[in-house]
Amino acid sequence: MSRNSNKLRIGSGAGWWGDRIDPARWNAERGELDFLCFETMAEATVSAAQVRKRRDPGFPGYDTWLDDRMRAVLPHCMANGTHIISNQGWIHPQAAARRVAELCAEVGWKNAKVAAITATDLSSTIAASGLSIMESGAPIASLHDTLISAEPYAGAEAIVQALDQGADIVITGRVADPSLFLAPMMHHYGWRHDDWDKLGQGSGIGHLLECGAQVTGGYFGDPGYKDVPEPWNLAFPYADVDADGTAEIGKVSGTGGCIDLRTVKEQMFYEVHDPARYVTPDVVVDFTTAQLEQTGENRVTVRGISGHPRTATLKVSVGCTEGYIGEDMFFFAGPGCLEKARLADTILRERLRMANLQADDLRIDFIGLNAVHGAASAPPSPNHVPAEIAVRIAARCATRAQAEKIGREVDGMAVCGLASTGKRVPHQDRVREVIGLWSALVPRESVHCTIEFV
């Protein structure tokens, strides 16, 4: 390969669970990468995985797109000597690692060393820890009866250890997003665990890469204001990282999108509450010292991000059962559609009252009129009457039986409703269990990671 031996090239393979797969394959095939990192695990993903596990005993507990992603990149990573780091292990990293090993064998990578990293499961102990819930200040013991999971955010350290032990592929569970990208920098350059400025710079670069195409023009385009070339053909980024952490962000040639100061700045402050104090398990990142320079077409150099000593605590995502949501939708179009929607609202509320619906929350939205802005929505004017309305109804209930009443009453609108009601065939699942997510801070020493080679 024609890699620059003086730089480490790290590429993004995913920015979330449902991300596209082709850009990861392009990076693996043409990106000349040293490392390809997949980030597919958000708080919502943990919740979805816990729901799936509860309703489906056969669910293996890892990314449902793992096979597709690995089959797309493994032949190229094997041929090009590219290591893989991924948090696609979700709630069962060992099972994911075993599956990846099987997929490696399928493509002929029979000597691949696959490591699984698992952090301490705090589910059985956190309720008695005496800690508080970050969002409310209430004691975490108040969640005892509904608590089903407690997963700490691990950092880069165990990944570095696995790489130091020769791992070609590392599969993790809940690891902080930037840590997936920081780990290969620490491994390759031998950065110390207390070199805060290098760790701050490395974590900052990881933050730029973790959301995939968001730094190459994804979630950025606004026609006429922020135009993006070939937005159907977006690549995932890579970073060429020097030993001091200075990095140049780029993408493979022949792809759409753009990398410029605007896209980098937007991603730099994405999901960052305090730019001077972005807390990760490895370091507290300070973006206020960052220096950005456009160094070429679709090339931006990032330097100067600094860091401060890591905190004595780690964040834990606590999952709790919080009932069920029943949801459905139907449609009106043409003259009088808004009047029909308003009458349908009245009909449904009365029928749900007659059915003795027990709901903690009930809302009926007119999509296209008030579904996003709610009460702040501007009323329709005589000169602009909507041509179509989708009526969405949702209720949050303590039991599945109560939530199922939503779909039953919407079904009744098909022939017991108004003229020209458009109704979907009721075969889709209209009730879903809700796993609420709360946060707590636990002492760092209470969390340990284990490394298992497959």
For 167, 177, 200, 285, 380, the CA distances from 308, given in Å and listed in that order, are 29, 18, 7, 7, 52
Examine residue 447 and state whether it is found in any structural domain, yes or no. yes
Examine residue 430 and state whether it is found in any structural domain, yes or no. no
Give the Cβ contact number of residue 188 at 10 Å.
18
Examine residue 33 and state whether it is found in any structural domain, yes or no. yes
**Assign residue 166 a region: left if phi > 0, alpha if psi is -120 to 50, beta otherwise?**
left
Query: What pLDDT, on a 0 to 100 scale, did the predictor assign at position 249?
Result: 98
Cα–Cα distance for residue pair 52/49, rounded to 1 Å: 5
Q: What tokens does 264 get?
A: 């980098």
Burial of residue 77 (CB within 10 Å: 0-12, 13-18, 19+) is: buried
Residues 349 and 297 in one domain: no
Output the pTM of the full model: 0.94
Structural domain range at position 271: 8-121+153-312+443-453
Residues 276 and 401 in one domain: no
CB hemisphere CA count around 119 (13 angstroms)? 31
Query: What pLDDT, on a 0 to 100 scale, did the predictor assign at position 4?
Result: 59
Residues 305 and 347 in one domain: no
Query: What pLDDT, on a 0 to 100 scale, did the predictor assign at position 1?
Result: 35
Cα–Cα distance for residue pair 151/134, rounded to 1 Å: 15
412-419 long-range Cβ contacts below 8 angstroms, 24+ apart: 412/351, 413/330, 413/344, 413/347, 413/348, 417/330, 417/344, 417/347, 418/332, 418/340, 418/343, 418/344, 418/347, 419/340
Query: What pLDDT, on a 0 to 100 scale, did the predictor assign at position 3?
Result: 54
Examine residue 429 and state whether it is found in any structural domain, yes or no. no
Determine phi and psi for 240, rounding to 5 degrees: -95, 110
Q: Name 274's Cβ contacts closer than 8 Å, sequence gap at least 6.
A: none
Give the Cβ contact number of residue 4 at 10 Å.
10
End-to-end CA distance of the chain: 28
Cα–Cα distance for residue pair 249/258, rounded to 1 Å: 11
Residues 287 and 344 in one domain: no
User: What is the SS3 assignment for 165?
Assistant: coil
Residues 299 and 178 in one domain: yes
Say if residues 152 and 314 touch (Cβ distance below 8 Å).
yes
CA dihedral 91, 93, 97, 98 (to 10 degrees): -70
Q: Name 443's Cβ contacts closer than 8 Å, sequence gap at least 6.
A: 312, 313, 314
Place of tokens 């029943």: 326
For 213, 369, 399, the CA distances from 33, given in Å and listed in that order, are 17, 47, 50
Residues 224 and 275 in one domain: yes
Query: What pLDDT, on a 0 to 100 scale, did the predictor assign at position 2?
Result: 38
- How many domains in the chain? 2
Examine residue 424 and state whether it is found in any structural domain, yes or no. no
Q: Name 174's Cβ contacts closer than 8 Å, sequence gap at least 6.
A: 41, 46, 87, 119, 151, 152, 153, 154, 317
Place of tokens 């003229």: 419
Residues 101 and 188 in one domain: yes
Helices (H), 210-273: 261-268
Residues 267 and 177 in one domain: yes
Residues 414 and 296 in one domain: no
Examine residue 140 and state whether it is found in any structural domain, yes or no. no
Residues 66 and 169 in one domain: yes
- Give per-residue burial for 405-425: e unless 16+ CB within 10 Å, then b: bbbebbbebeeebeeebbbee
Cα–Cα distance for residue pair 32/253, rounded to 1 Å: 12
Examine residue 236 and state whether it is found in any structural domain, yes or no. yes
* CA neighbor of 182 nearest in space, from 166, 193, 169, 171: 193
Tens of pLDDT along the chain (454 residues) come to 335 567 999 999 999 999 999 999 999 999 999 999 999 998 778 778 888 888 888 999 999 999 999 999 999 999 999 999 999 999 999 999 999 999 999 999 999 999 999 999 999 999 999 999 999 999 999 999 999 989 999 999 999 999 999 999 999 999 999 999 999 999 999 999 999 999 999 999 999 999 999 999 999 999 999 999 999 999 999 999 999 999 999 999 999 999 999 999 999 999 999 999 999 999 999 999 999 999 999 999 999 999 999 999 999 999 999 999 999 999 999 999 999 999 999 999 999 999 999 999 999 999 989 999 988 988 887 777 889 999 999 999 999 999 999 999 999 998 999 999 998 876 678 999 998 999 999 999 999 999 999 9
Examine residue 133 and state whether it is found in any structural domain, yes or no. no
For 16, 157, 173, 198, 438, the CA distances from 87, given in Å and listed in that order, are 10, 14, 5, 23, 21
Query: What pLDDT, on a 0 to 100 scale, did the predictor assign at position 33?
Result: 98
Say if residues 49 and 437 touch (Cβ distance below 8 Å).
no
